[in-house]
Amino acid sequence: MRRRAVTTSLGLAGIALAASPSSPASAASPSSRGEPLVIAHRGASGYRPEHTLEAYRLAIRMGADFIEPDLVSTRDGVLVARHENEISGTTDVAAHPEFASRRTTKTIDGTAVSGWFTEDFTLAELRTLRAKERLPLVRVTNTAFDGRFQIPTFQEVIDLAKAESRRRGRTIGVYPETKHPTYFQSIGLALEEPLVRTLRAAGWRSAKDPVIIQSFETANLRRLRRLTDVRLAQLMDAAGRPYDFVAAGDARTYADLATFDGLKWVSGYANGVGANKNLIVPRDASGKLLAPTSLVRDAHRLGMVVHAWTFRAENQFLPVDFRIGADPNARGDITAEYELFYSLGLDGVFADHPDTAVAARAGLPQAD
């Protein structure tokens, strides 16, 4: 499958543009080869419980360019890596009788959620918990690691990336996501300032540094643009709308933001977009692939990069076209899916199994 020459030229042009923090809509892969980035989604979450140092470390061993921590806050204002602030599905908190009274129901982004929440625990208390596999019926082998790993802080994720960069002689970036920023701001635990402080302490301040901040909301990214020059990515789902739009009475949806006019607005504060795969290659009601949209081409016209999520190897997450056999938990032809998206000029992939993304990328023909 021949990769379009325009992909490489855009990547190389983006590297030059990224050196200029005064151009907020300009960014690209740090890869000098202009190849698509491999972003380890919550670490190597296909092989280890997500958002643990061990998942991130394994992803780096597998060749990932970036590791991705989702960030939430503790009661004492420390940023930690969890998929959600509700932690019953990713930790053993329910097995701790000393915390039984903290189980509660809260409204998060307009939805009632019951369980235990990071903002009700100090970091010291969270340290007594252990991570567990979030999808135990899908990734049965990962449950062998339940109870072994702690919840890492954002600082520890950065420290790991820097240490592994030195040890391996290549730069490993960090791609943090701010989770539920409107909610955290409403309870006095805004995520933006501690995030920027942590990045500054790490020496990461500019678009040249190996960090990209992402969010499904827009207001906090626009606020972050005023606080830092590091690269920003607007996440876009295939349905719904940003919660800050809901809170503000803004009727625009993610589909609106994915149009050329919507992307032009986003380019005023973000360097790129992190798009649900279905915004790039939709599926029909049966799960079969349809014709690609113009999202990647439109974003590139505006000088933006496009990273797509989430690439998972199991059949149930793949389009019907790439499934192998009838077992939903067996591996399908994930390589074919990567090849399809790489051929569209995609700038990066969020992958649960980063080794598969790295292997598929290695098979791309080299640019002339």
pLDDT at residue 24 greater than cutoff 70: no
Mean pLDDT of the 323-330 span: 98
**For 115-137, what is each residue's pLDDT tens digit?**
999 999 999 999 999 999 999 99
Distance CA 25, CA 264 (A): 9
Domains of the chain: 5-73+151-362 (3.20.20.190)
What average pLDDT does this structure show over 325-350?
98
Q: How many angstroms separate the CA atoms of 311 and 327, rounded?
A: 18
Q: Does residue 18 surpass a pLDDT of 80? A: no
Which residues, other chains included, contact 105 with Cβ-Cβ below 8 Å and sequence gap of 6+? 112, 113, 114
pLDDT at residue 10 greater than cutoff 70: no
Q: What percent of the chain has pLDDT over 90?
A: 89
pLDDT over threshold 90, residue 21: no
Whether 14 shows a pLDDT value over 60: the answer reads: no
pLDDT of residue 366: 72
User: How many C-beta atoms lie closer than 10 Å to residue 278's C-beta?
Assistant: 16
Alpha-carbon distances, residue 54 vs 42, 83, 148, 156, 158 (angstroms): 11, 16, 10, 12, 14
Q: What is the pLDDT of residues 32-80, one digit of tens each?
A: 458 999 999 999 999 999 999 999 999 999 999 999 999 999 999 999 9
Q: What predicted TM-score, i.e. pTM, was given to this entire model?
A: 0.91
Q: Do residues 360 and 35 touch, judged by C-beta distance below 8 A?
A: no
pLDDT, position 368:
58
CB 71 within 8 A of CB 151: no
Report the pLDDT value the prediction gives residue 365, as an integer from 0 to 100.
Answer: 81
Phi, psi of 307 (to 5 degrees): -115, 135
Query: Average pLDDT, stretch 17-43?
Result: 59
